[in-house]
Amino acid sequence: MQNRMRFFGGDGANRRKDKLDAWFSKQNFSEEEIMDLLEQNLRQRKNIKLVKDCIKDAGLGISGLVSNDKLELYFDIYKNKKSVCYVSKGWKDPGFRIGELIDIDKDIAGFKEKFYKIFYNCSSNLMSVSVSEPSDKFVSLSLEIGIYRDGFNAKVLRDAIETLEKTLKAISKILYPETH
């Protein structure tokens, strides 16, 4: 028996796995909970690697990995060392979101008309817009482009960022025509 176990690696050769197994045994998880946790962790790690590889291939930079109960991953994306947008993915999302947040002062001249122009501009670029009112003075817009997981690559990422940047420039012209 001893020789057979040594032949099949039963002598503790896989110490990392042994440590992980020991940790799991202390948690009192069911086998199903362990499988779910490992599968979720593996998916997340694959998605983080996919994002990092695409960012590198696109010649961009990232920072600030955030992961919590709602977000599987979130990174700020940089172009020429300047923050341009973010990439995120919720735990149940079928893909990724490339987006940016902007605040609009409600007291800006022609606010309502400008808001509708912004909304139209975003929708014409297949960009979703979420609206929130963090205060009586501002409206916050979350502009996002969805990319399904299987379609996420460096070219699609660059194209989405380019569309977002073009849309943000158009929004700036709508909000502040006197500076353009």
The number of beta carbons lying within 10 Å of the beta carbon of residue 114 is: 17
Query: Inter-axis angle of helices 31-57 and 154-175, to 10 degrees?
Result: 70
- Characterize the bridge pairing of strands 138-148 and 128-132: antiparallel
Q: What is the pTM of this model?
A: 0.85
| Dihedral sign from CA coordinates of 93, 99, 102, 106 | negative
Q: What is the end-to-end Cα distance of the chain in Å, rounded?
A: 81
Number of domains in the chain: 1
- The CATH number of residue 54's host domain is 3.30.1460.10
Residue ranges making up the domain that contains 135 = 2-179
Q: What is the pLDDT along the chain (180 residues), one digit of tens a residue?
A: 555 555 555 555 578 888 888 888 898 889 999 999 999 999 999 999 999 999 999 999 999 999 999 999 999 999 999 999 999 999 999 999 999 999 999 999 999 999 999 999 999 999 999 999 988 899 999 999 999 988 999 999 999 999 999 999 999 999 988 886
